[in-house]
Amino acid sequence: MHFVKAKGILSAANGMNLYRGCTHGCIYCDSRSKCYHMEHAFEDVEVKENAILLLEQALKSKRRKCMLGTGAMSDPYQPIEQDLGYTRKALELAGRYGFGFTLLTKSDRVLQDLDLLKAINEKTKCVVQMTLTTYDDNLCRKLEPHVCPTSERIAVLKQLRDEGIPTVVWLCPILPFINDTVENIKGILHACIDAKVYGIICFGMGLTLREGNREYFYEQLDCLFPHMKERYINTYSMLYEVDSPKEAELMQLFHQLCEENGIVHDNREIFTYLSTFETKEYAVQLKLFE
C-alpha cells in the first residue's frame, strides 16, 4: 500500500476510485491491462489520501443530486478498507448530502456498511453490484483466490434482499474451457433468482485479453490448468475478445431464464437504472403510473 495526493475524485459520470490496484488476485482481471497506465505493482494498492476531502468538496458544490459509484476499476473493499474506511466514509458523505450510491464488489465486507447502505436507500437509491463468475467454490478459489467464494457472495445477496437493498450481478468473465458450462450458468442464475436480484449484466460468454492482463492470465493458467494456455493460444492467438465456443447456447439460456423469472437482462436498461437518481417519493410516483 502507498499513498498519493489526487487532484480530483469524481469522473464526469460521478464515479470514483478510492483505491487503485487490488489484492484479490483474480487471474483474469482486466484492470491489469497496460492501457490503464497503472505505474505501480498491481497488488501495491494506491490510496488517494485526500479522496474523502475532495469528495466532500465535490458534493457540496453540486447543484443537482445524482448517483455516485465506485468499484469499476478496483474493488472498494480491499483488506486495507478495514483500517482506512475510505469506502465507509464515502457512503457517510453520500448519506449526509442526500446522494444515491452504487458500488461493485466481490467481497462480503460490504455487509460491514449495511447500516449506511440502508440509510441511503431509505431516502434515495443504493444498489450493491456483485460479480459472480463460477458457482463452484473450489473453482472460484482458483480463479479469485483472495476474496470470499461464490457461496458467501450469494449469502450476501440474499441478506441484502432481506434488508430491501436492490442488487445487480455481473456475470463475467466466463472463461472458455473452464467455467463456460451449462451447469455453471444455471447454478449462478438460479442463485440470482433466489436472491431476487434486480438485473444481471452480461457482455457475452467470454473474456477480454490485452497487454498486461493477458500475460498474467497465461501465467496463472500454466500454474492452475496444465496445457490450457496452449489451448488458448491455438484457439484465439492474440485476439482481444475471447468468446466461448458455447456462446450462442449459453446466451440463449441466460436470456431465457432471466426473462422467465423477471430479472432485467438488458445491459443498457440496467446501466440506466444504476445511473438514475431518484427519491423515494419519485419512485412511488412512477409506480402510480405503471
The contacts of residue 63 (CB under 8 Å, 6+ apart) are none
**Residues 156, 44: Cα–Cα separation, whole Å:** 27
Confidence of residue 285 (pLDDT cuts 50, 70, 90): low
Write out 6-68 in H/E/C secondary structure: CCCCCCCCCEECCEECCCCCCCCCHHHCHHHCCCCCCCCCEEECCHHHHHHHHHHHCCCCCEE
**Residues 174, 205: Cα–Cα separation, whole Å:** 5
- How high does pLDDT run on average in the chain? 95
Lowest mean pLDDT, pick from 82-86, 120-124, 144-148, 276-280? 276-280
pLDDT at 282 (0 to 100): 53
- Reference 42, options 262, 212, 159; nearest CA is 212
pLDDT at 239 (0 to 100): 96
| Residue 265 and residue 254 in contact, taking contact as beta carbons nearer than 8 Å | yes
Instruction: Please state the rounded mean pLDDT for residues 267-279.
Output: 97
Query: Under DSSP, is residue 202 helix (H, G, I), strand (E, B) or coil?
Result: coil
Domain positions in the chain are 2-289
Fold classification of 2-289 is TIM Barrel (3.20.20)
Residue 281 has pLDDT above 90, yes or no: no
Q: What is the pLDDT of residues 190-238, one digit of tens each?
A: 999 999 999 999 999 999 999 999 999 999 999 999 999 999 999 999 9
pLDDT at 210 (0 to 100): 95
**Residues 215, 122: Cα–Cα separation, whole Å:** 45
Confidence of residue 167 (pLDDT cuts 50, 70, 90): very high
Confidence of residue 168 (pLDDT cuts 50, 70, 90): very high
Confidence of residue 241 (pLDDT cuts 50, 70, 90): very high
Instruction: Please state the rounded mean pLDDT for residues 180-185.
Output: 98
Sheet of 15-16: strands edge to edge? Answer: 15-16, 67-70, 100-105, 126-132, 167-171, 199-201
**Residues 224, 243: Cα–Cα separation, whole Å:** 21
Strand 126-132 vs strand 167-171: parallel, antiparallel, or unpaired? Answer: parallel
- Reference 25, options 69, 72, 79; nearest CA is 79
Confidence of residue 133 (pLDDT cuts 50, 70, 90): very high
pTM (2 decimals)?
Answer: 0.95
Q: Measured between alpha carbons, how far apart are the two ends of the chain, in Å? A: 49
Instruction: Please state the rounded mean pLDDT for residues 122-141.
Output: 98
**Residues 260, 31: Cα–Cα separation, whole Å:** 34
Residue 289 has pLDDT above 70, yes or no: no
Instruction: Please state the rounded mean pLDDT for residues 61-71.
Output: 97
Count H helices, E strands: the chain? 12, 11
pLDDT at 39 (0 to 100): 87
pLDDT at 154 (0 to 100): 98
pLDDT at 29 (0 to 100): 96
Which strand (E) or helix (H) includes residue 90? helix 86-97
Q: 171: number of CA atoms within 13 Å, CB side?
A: 31
Residue 286 has pLDDT above 90, yes or no: no
C-alpha cell at 155: 449469502
